[in-house]
């Protein structure tokens, strides 16, 4: 289908002064055509009519532009750039990133499978995880993935025994628990002496002496992912400096390091004034720090997908409360648990009057039976039941963390580009949700 508007087009991101602040949080192709929000040349009301709501709309142009931007930023350092699939494991999105030449960071046999379906070569994927299952490790070994990022000594022991008898040595990267002073939500902090990820200093010594003697595993790199929503580049320069100091220790075990990985976690704005970490600024801060023979590896998730996605909901009811309007929609914490998990803030835009989007006293709430099911607060939503609301910056960690709470089926996903929309994930159904229940058949 090609739901394009015919009227005069105002590009939100370029010409509309009133909507200028939204430029940072909407997809590149967002348009205000005769007062109706369009993405990728497609009218959101038309998409909602065809595919239903809640609907997740991903803009292919933004996905490709972000992938190219990150690749270009790190091109001079010849870095390995991988997309962290946990941010969005939608196969069509993975395929776009594969076509753009990125690698894939996975954390489970399931994400590896999604990567294979998107056409990634196993050599371009690596496996993370602090408590990988035997199935995860076996699949990674069977496919000979680019690398397995070892998180702990128990995993190293299991991997050693699972890799016995193989003709090739499995490539291993060690994840370190570095303290690099990252400031973020406690749940988004993934490095430090007290977090659950990575090897502490003593554990690292043990891991190195074991790898020094291993005939089935080969150390190729060191890794530290400081956390998520990090806007200060100094966190990454500190992480890289610590990894490089550790290289000296590695050498004392007769081992070498080809790659130093600093993870992802680059901050993106969810509301117009939020801080961000631009890939170009990060790349510039790291330039010159690495010796020639060691390759940099980065694995952003959110920075590649967050702004490309917009969630579209239909208003079900509007109540007047002392503090403002309470606007209830047909989605919520089932498709976006981030506000409940992290107190994450979002913006909200009336689809049929995008210019009205502003700060205000209204609250956008979901349909789930939890008082905490709030999608956005402090917004201005002059809407009535039946109207549509778009929530921008919906591309990362919403669908990938979506649940079927209250037995509400997870939403459909469309990929839009140049006036065409393609259904890439169908809406789940009640039958599907109940299909694992063996009683009552």
The kind and range of the H/E element at 32 are strand 31-33
**Which residues fall within 8 angstroms of residue 160, CB to CB, at 6 or more apart?**
210, 214, 216, 217
Shortest reach from residue 393's CB to ligand LLP, in Å: 11
Shortest reach from residue 374's CB to ligand LLP, in Å: 16
- DSSP assignment string, 136-175: HHHHHHHHT-SEEEE-SHHHHHHHHHHTTT-SSPEEEEEE
Q: Which is nearer to ligand LLP, 51 or 346 (CB)?
A: 346
List the one residue out of 161, 139, 137, 151 whose CA is nearest residue 216.
161
Neighbour tally for 244: CB within 10 Å:
16
Which residue in this structure is represented by tokens 């803030």?
A: 345
Shortest reach from residue 182's CB to ligand LLP, in Å: 11
* Helix residue spans in 264-358 (DSSP H): 279-286, 302-305, 338-342
Q: Which residues are known catalytic residues?
A: 369
Q: Which is nearer to ligand LLP, 44 or 219 (CB)?
A: 219
- 289 near 241, Cβ under 8 Å? yes
Q: Which is nearer to ligand LLP, 95 or 128 (CB)?
A: 128
Q: Which is nearer to ligand LLP, 41 or 54 (CB)?
A: 54
Shortest reach from residue 98's CB to ligand LLP, in Å: 17
CA distances from 313 to 264, 339, 364, 420 (A): 30, 16, 10, 20
Shortest reach from residue 356's CB to ligand LLP, in Å: 28
Footprint on this chain of ligand LLP (rule: CB under 6 A): 84, 86-87, 105, 128, 188, 190, 225, 228, 263-266, 299-303, 338, 342, 397, 401
Q: Which is nearer to ligand LLP, 9 or 400 (CB)?
A: 400
Angle at 273 between CA 272 and CA 279, to 5 degrees: 85
Pull the structure tokens for residue 191: 């490095």
- 177 near 193, Cβ under 8 Å? yes
Which residue in this structure is represented by tokens 């979002």?
A: 346
């Amino acid at each position: 289908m090609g739901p394009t508007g015919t009227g005069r087009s105002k590009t939100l991101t370029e010409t509309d002064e009133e909507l200028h602040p939204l430029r940072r949080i909407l997809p590149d192709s967002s348009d205000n055509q005769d007062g109706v929000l369009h993405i990728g040349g497609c009218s959101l009301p038309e998409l909602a009519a065809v595919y239903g709501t809640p609907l997740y709309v991903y803009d292919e142009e933004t996905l490709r532009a972000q992938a190219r931007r990150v690749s270009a930023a790190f091109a001079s350092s010849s870095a390995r750039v991988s997309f962290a699939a946990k941010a969005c494991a939608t196969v069509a999105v993975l395929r776009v990133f594969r076509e753009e030449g990125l690698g894939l960071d996975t954390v489970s046999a399931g994400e590896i499978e999604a990567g294979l379906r998107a056409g990634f070569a196993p050599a371009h994927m690596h496996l993370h995880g602090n408590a990988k299952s035997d199935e995860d490790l076996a699949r990674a070994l069977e496919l000979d993935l680019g690398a397995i990022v070892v998180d702990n000594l128990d995993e190293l022991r299991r991997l050693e025994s699972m890799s016995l008898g193989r003709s090739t040595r499995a490539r291993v990267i060690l994840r370190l628990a570095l303290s690099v002073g990252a400031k973020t939500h406690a749940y988004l902090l993934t490095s430090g002496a007290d977090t659950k990820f990575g090897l502490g200093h003593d554990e690292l010594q043990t891991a190195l002496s074991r790898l020094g003697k291993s005939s089935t595993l080969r150390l190729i790199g060191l890794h530290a992912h400081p956390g998520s929503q990090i806007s200060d580049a100094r966190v990454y320069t500190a992480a890289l400096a610590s990894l490089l100091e550790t290289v000296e220790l590695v050498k004392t075990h007769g081992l070498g390091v080809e790659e130093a990985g600093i993870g992802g976690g680059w901050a993106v704005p969810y509301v117009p004034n939020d801080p961000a970490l631009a890939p170009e600024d990060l790349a510039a801060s790291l330039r010159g720090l690495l010796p020639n023979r060691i390759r940099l590896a980065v694995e952003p998730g959110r920075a590649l997908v967050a702004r490309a996605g917009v969630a579209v909901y239909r208003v079900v009811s509007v109540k007047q409360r002392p503090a403002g309007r309470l606007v209830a929609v047909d989605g919520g914490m089932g498709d976006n648990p981030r506000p409940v998990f992290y107190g994450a803030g979002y913006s909200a835009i009336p689809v049929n009057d995008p210019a009205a989007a502003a700060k205000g006293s209204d609250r956008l709430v979901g349909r789930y039976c939890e008082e905490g099911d709030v999608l956005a607060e402090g917004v201005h939503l002059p809407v009535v039941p039946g109207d549509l609301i778009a929530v921008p910056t919906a591309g990362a960690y919403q669908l990938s963390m979506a649940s079927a709470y209250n037995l509400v089926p997870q939403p459909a996903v469309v990929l839009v580009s140049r006036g065409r929309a393609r259904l890439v994930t169908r809406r789940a159904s009640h039958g599907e949700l109940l299909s694992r229940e063996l009683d009552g058949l």
